[in-house]
Amino acid sequence: MKRTGPIKVLIVDDSPLVRSILTSVLSEEQDIVVVGGAKDPYEAREMIIEFRPDVIILDIEMPRMDGLTFLKKLVVHYPVPVIMCSGMAPANSRAALQAIEDGAVDVVAKPNRGGTAGLRRLGGDLAEKIHAAAIAMPAPPPIPQSATTASASFRAAGLDPRRYLIAIGASTGGTEAIKNLLSCVPADWPPVTIVQHMPEGFTDSFARRLDEFSPLRVTEAVDGDVLVPGRAFLARGGVQMRVRVRGGQWRIAYGSDELVNRHCPSVDVLFDSAAETMGKQLVGILLTGMGADGAKGLLRMREAGAVTIGQDRKSCVVYGMPKVAAEIGAVQHTGAPAEIPRIILQALRHHAAAKPAGSKA
């Protein structure tokens, strides 16, 4: 989806310093114009009427009206992409995830330290998210619960969950896509590893949120975690996560904090390690998101014999990462998140049935 003209951005934050620095940094982007900065939702309302922004940056904690309350009003009266700007306290991270469920397209974390330099780095991160938000499509309506249950358990399908690993990558729109996917799996699912582009300090709250909806036990991954069926492991923000074999077991391994494809954690880092470690015992899934992180890794998975799946265009908030993967030949199957568990079962059963008699699954 292509745009014409600059992206008009409104910043709503009660801190004059935050508004000033973010305006300065974002104004360096040729295709972004900051049309105003409001100290609270009441002031923002007047600026929305005057400037009709394309994207709104919204603080969570503000006087007179908090960001969550204002977001709910925006969804009804001015449905425009909203990026939540939140402090990193646990309560704020939970509120930010609630905001995404309420209609925000993404979240950024205000730095706890670093002063002006930290805010300038935040502005650089925001620029990328603004570009994604400007082309974001509304999230599809939730599928009724009766339609989101996997048709059979993994073992009932004649498959051994101990023999497989599922690796998932996502960015913008991914929090809801992952939730919808993990809500539809049976409890005897193979181990799942997940990279969701998300700020450091937010992934623990996100894992806890996923755990409420999924039959799997979902946790923020810890270095050395053993990958066992019935568990899902979410990469911690700010560090690269890989899959490694230690002591004859598949385990989580954390590494550096370097950026790969401008992200830490990076989907490609996880996918590459899984392809090297698992090969044909692997399922790779690339969900909604801006850019190309994960596309090459998914291709390496397919070349190693893995089953590869990309989220379909109509269910993506941003059809970027899975689109690039499809264009380079990395994707074998496509579907909406709630359909993917069924696709996995069918693909692996077909894979097992195609093996010569006496061979291993």
Residues 118-140: tens digit of each pLDDT: 888 888 889 989 999 999 987 76
C-alpha–C-alpha distance, residues 37 and 14, integer Å: 9
Contacts of 95 (CB under 8 A, 6+ apart): 60, 67, 68, 86
Least confident of 8-12, 26-30, 150-154, 246-250: 150-154
Q: What is the DSSP string of 200-257?
A: TTTHHHHHHHHHHH-SSEEEE--TT-B--TTEEEEPPTTS-EEEEEETTEEEEEE---
Q: Among this protein's residues, is 350 annotated catalytic?
A: no
Region 325-350: what's the mean pLDDT? 95
**pLDDT class of 152 with cuts at 50, 70, 90:** low
SS3 state at 34: strand
138-147, 278-287, 334-343: lowest mean pLDDT where? 138-147
Question: How far does the chain reach from its first CA to its final CA, in angstroms?
Answer: 42
Q: For the purposes of burial, counting CB atoms within 10 Å of the CB of 149, is it exposed (0-12), middle (13-18) or buried (19 or more)?
A: middle
Q: State the average pLDDT for the chain.
A: 90
pLDDT surpasses 70 at 262: yes
pLDDT for 356: 52
- The answer to whether residue 171 is catalytic is yes
Task: Give me the pLDDT at residue 86, please.
Answer: 84
Instruction: Encode pLDDT of 28-85 as tens digits.
Output: 999 999 999 999 999 999 999 999 999 999 999 998 899 999 999 999 999 999 999 9
Residue type, position 132, single letter? A
Coil, helix or strand for 185? coil
Whether a cis peptide bond, with omega within 30° of 0, leads into 265 is: yes
Instruction: Name the DSSP letter for residue 260.
Output: B
What pLDDT score does 125 carry? 85
CA 79 from chain centre, in angstroms, equals 21
The pLDDT of residue 361 is 44
Angle at 27 between CA 22 and CA 29, to 5 degrees: 115
Q: What is the pLDDT of residue 121?
A: 85
Catalytic residue among 13, 93, 183, 197: 197
Run of H or E residues at 43? helix 41-51
Spatial separation of the C-alpha atoms in residues 161 and 298, rounded to whole Å: 21
Confidence of residue 173 (pLDDT cuts 50, 70, 90): very high
Closest among 175, 186, 163 to 94, alpha carbons compared: 175
pLDDT reported for residue 238: 94
Closest CA to 297 of 321, 333, 267: 267
Residue-range domains of the chain with CATH: 7-134 (3.40.50.2300), 145-353 (3.40.50.180)
Confidence check: pLDDT of 359 > 70:
no
Res 143: pLDDT: 57
Residue of 40, 293, 312, 315 marked active site: 293
Q: How confident is the model at residue 142 (pLDDT cuts 50, 70, 90)?
A: low
pLDDT exceeds cutoff 90 at 357: no
The predicted-structure confidence for 246-259, as pLDDT tens digits, reads as follows 888 999 999 999 99
Three-class SS state of 21 = helix
Residue 358 above 50 pLDDT? Answer: no
Whole-number Å distance between alpha carbons of 315 and 356: 37
Q: With 50 as the cut, is the pLDDT of residue 314 above it?
A: yes
Rounded Cα–Cα distance for residues 256 and 259 (Å): 9
Report CA torsion sign: 239, 243, 166, 295.
Answer: positive
pTM comes to 0.91
DSSP secondary structure string for all residues of 118-177: HHHHHHHHHHHHHHHHHTPPPPPPPPPGGGSS-SS-TTTTT--GGG-EEEEEE-TTHHHH
CA 351 to chain centre: 28
Place of tokens 């295709």: 31
pLDDT category, 303, cuts 50, 70, 90?
very high
Question: Could you say which of 171, 183, 205, 315 is catalytic?
Answer: 171
Note whether 264 and 239 are within 8 A (CB): yes
Residues of the chain with pLDDT > 70: what percent?
A: 91
Residue 145 has pLDDT above 60, yes or no: no
State the DSSP string of 80-107.
--EEEEE-SSHHHHHHHHHHHHHT--EE
89-120 residue pLDDT tens: 777 788 888 999 999 999 988 887 667 888 88
Please list the alpha-helical segments (H only) found in 280-360: 295-303, 321-327, 340-353
pLDDT band at 164 (very low <50, low <70, confident <90, very high): very high
Task: Output the six-digit token pair for 149.
Answer: 């249950």
